[in-house]
């Protein structure tokens, strides 16, 4: 087990201007710098925020079902906990790297701060193709990973959640392994658990619900209301399908939804309830709708609202000029590259950023943690009411910055986040 906090692995480097290859860490540092130019913040605080507080690298040996032993590498990056315990996803994916975990942990710090949730940012995972593991192997891997991370996670220190390749069952095993070693049941050590062991109702739907709420507020702000507003959604998974269905229910006309194979398109509107989401029937979207179009075409449809909710880096310098939507609301993490952002701004297309729009996930995770430490479950309607109230609060804070500083929605969200984090650092000071 090696602690590599602020070692050579996190050295500064010139954030590349390269469009789609921009890493999460490059993006996180670029946004930090941009927000800092708008605020009068002690430069020493910015210097600290460019680095994670700690990166834990662990070795996770796994006995495979055939009796052989394979050794995997896992990470947990913890960026900044000035406002509360670290919080962030735990992914099982062959592409997990230390640098990616650091970058994504920084994004989580901004996301929690813009929502005014008393958590800091973390991210972690194991470099493994989870599809090649049996359920029993995944359970053993998770229990061992929980044990390797035991010193740095906990309900008041760092609270993991599901991410790529992990789910509520993974969280249940992690929670069980941690609790067994602690000698008491500790549901607050992870979020995204099944409700039967302290998970929250509404957690799965929350990121899509927050995207829909932000679309509703943005449409009102730009004075076109939701009724009859046309919407295109890239990615009909957890985020995209929940957002599309809610917007459909609230009166919008969802004209296109897609999966990795392409998009179902109907200019008169798709009945989104009849299209199976990724979880209900993977990659079946193109069998629905009057017409099938490509994912690239979906991004450039002449619609009121475009919601990229599939993967990162889909709006780039190559296609940003062709975007005809009046408004982009980011459902996925990082769907717009920095260069695309600049082009969309020049073309007068507002982009509501991921750290605000899809923050319903971490917000309901916070509610789950509150329920766990208070040993009191909330009803679904209470979760949804409180989520709406938190989203409206964050929306209003960001909107105020947009109006006061005449800046983009993304810059405004980072300004709100950074000023909260910087104020907390200022108040606490640097010890020793």
User: Nearest to ligand NAD by Cβ — which residue?
Assistant: 237
Looking at the Cβ atoms of 133 and 293, the one nearer to ligand NAD is 293
Provide, rounded to whole angstroms, the least separation between the CB of residue 283 and ligand NAD: 5
Closer CB to ligand NAD, 234 or 316, in the complex: 234
Of 63, 87, 111, 123, which one is the catalytic site residue? 123
State the Cα–Cα distance between residues 82 and 79, nearest whole angstrom.
Answer: 10
* 358 part of the interface to ligand NAD, by CB under 6 A: yes
Q: Residue 306, interface with ligand NAD (CB under 6 A)?
A: no
* Among the residue ranges 34-42, 194-202, 234-242, 319-327, the one whose residues contact ligand NAD (CB under 6 A): 234-242
Interacting residue with ligand NAD among 60, 361, 418, 420 (CB under 6 A) = 361
Stretch that binds ligand NAD, among 223-231, 264-272, 306-314, 386-394 (CB under 6 A): 306-314
Choose the stretch contacting ligand NAD; rule: CB under 6 A; options: 183-191, 229-237, 343-351, 384-392. Answer: 229-237
Residues 268-287: x/- map of binding to ligand NAD (CB under 6 A)?
----------x----x----
Which is closer to ligand NAD, CB of 54 or CB of 366? 366
* Binders of ligand NAD in range 168-227 (CB under 6 A): 207
Based on the residue annotation, tell me whether 123 is a catalytic residue of this protein.
yes
- Binder among 295, 300, 316, 336 for ligand NAD (CB under 6 A): 295
Asked if 316 is part of the footprint of ligand NAD (rule: CB under 6 A), the reply reads no
Residue nearer to ligand NAD on the CB measure, 58 or 309? 309
Can you tell me which of 236, 367, 369, 409 binds ligand NAD, judged by CB under 6 A? 236
- Closer by beta carbon to ligand NAD, 176 or else 354: 354
Q: Annotate each residue in 117-156 with x if it binds ligand NAD (CB under 6 A) or - if it does not, as one string.
A: ----------------------------------------
For the bound state, the minimum distance from the C-beta of residue 261 to ligand NAD, rounded and expressed in Å, comes to 7
How far apart, in whole angstroms, are the C-alpha atoms of residue 118 and residue 115?
Answer: 9
Cβ(196)–Cβ(176) under 8 Å? no
Q: Report the residue from 166, 191, 258, 316 that binds ligand NAD according to the rule CB under 6 A.
A: 258
234 is a site residue for ligand NAD (CB under 6 A): yes
Q: Residues binding ligand NAD: what is the number (CB under 6 A)?
A: 23
Q: What is the 3-state secondary structure (H, E, C) of the chain?
A: CEECCCCHHHCCCCCCCCCCCCCHHHHHHHHHHHHHHHCCCCHHHHHHHCCCCEEEEEEEEEECCCCCEEEEEEEEEEEECCCCCEEEEEEECCCCCHHHHHHHHHHHHHHHHHCCCCCEEEEEEECCCHHHCCHHHHHHHHHHHHHHCCCCCECCCEEEEECCCCCHHHHHHHHHHHHHHHCCCCHHHCCCCCHHHCCCCCCCCHHHHHHHHHHHHHHHHCCCCCCCCEEEEECCCHHHHHHHHHHHHCCCEEEEEEECCEEEECCCCCCHHHCCCCCCCCCCHHHCCCEEECHHHHHCCCCCEEEECCCCCCECCCCHHHCCCCEEECCCCCCECHHHHHHHHHCCCCEECHHHHCCHHHHHHHHHHHHHHHCCCCCHHHHHHHHHHHHHHHHHHHHHHHHHHCCCHHHHHHHHHHHHHHHHHHHHCCCC
Q: Hey, which residues are catalytic here? A: 123
Interface residues with ligand NAD (CB under 6 A)?
A: 207, 234-240, 258-260, 278, 283, 295, 309-312, 331-333, 358, 361
């Amino acid at each position: 087990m090696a602690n590599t906090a602020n070692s050579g692995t996190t050295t500064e480097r010139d954030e590349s201007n390269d469009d789609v290859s921009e890493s999460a860490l490059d993006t996180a540092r670029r946004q930090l710098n941009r927000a800092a130019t708008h605020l009068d913040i002690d430069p020493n605080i910015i210097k600290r925020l460019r680095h994670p507080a700690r990166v834990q690298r662990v070795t996770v040996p796994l006995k495979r079902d055939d009796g052989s032993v394979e050794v995997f590498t896992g990470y947990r990056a913890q960026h900044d906990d000035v406002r509360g315990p670290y919080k962030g996803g735990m992914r099982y994916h062959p592409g997990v790297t230390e640098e990616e975990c650091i970058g994504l942990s920084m994004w989580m710090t901004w996301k929690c701060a813009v929502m005014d949730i008393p958590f800091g940012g973390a991210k972690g995972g194991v470099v493994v193709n989870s599809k090649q593991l049996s359920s029993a192997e995944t359970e053993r891997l998770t229990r061992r990973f929980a044990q390797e991370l035991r010193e740095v996670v906990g309900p008041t220190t760092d609270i993991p959640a599901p991410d790529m390749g992990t789910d509520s069952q993974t969280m249940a095993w992690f929670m069980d392994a941690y609790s067994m070693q602690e000698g008491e049941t500790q549901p607050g050590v992870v979020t995204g658990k099944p409700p039967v062991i302290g998970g929250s109702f509404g957690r799965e739907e929350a990121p899509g619900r927050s995207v829909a709420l932000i679309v509703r507020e943005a449409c009102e702000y730009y004075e076109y209301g939701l009724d009859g507003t046309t919407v295109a959604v890239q990615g009909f998974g957890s985020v995209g399908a929940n957002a599309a269905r809610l917007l459909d229910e609230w009166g919008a006309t969802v004209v296109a939804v897609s999966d990795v194979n392409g998009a179902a398109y109907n200019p008169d509107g798709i009945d989104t309830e009849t299209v199976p989401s990724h979880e209900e029937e993977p990659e079946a979207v193109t069998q629905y709708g009057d017409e099938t179009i490509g994912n690239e075409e979906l991004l450039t449809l002449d619609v009121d609202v475009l919601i990229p909710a599939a993967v990162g880096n889909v709006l780039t310098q190559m296609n940003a000029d062709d975007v005809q939507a009046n408004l982009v609301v980011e459902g996925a993490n990082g769907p717009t590259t920095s260069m695309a952002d600049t082009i969309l701004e020049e073309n007068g297309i507002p982009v509501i950023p991921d750290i605000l729009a899809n923050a319903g996930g971490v917000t309901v995770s916070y509610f789950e943690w509150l329920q766990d430490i208070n040993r009191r479950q909330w009803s679904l309607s209470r979760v949804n009411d409180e989520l709406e109230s938190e989203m409206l609060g964050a929306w209003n804070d960001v909107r105020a910055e947009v109006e006061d500083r005449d800046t983009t929605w993304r810059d405004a969200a980072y300004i709100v986040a950074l000023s909260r984090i910087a104020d907390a650092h200022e108040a606490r000071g640097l010890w020793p």
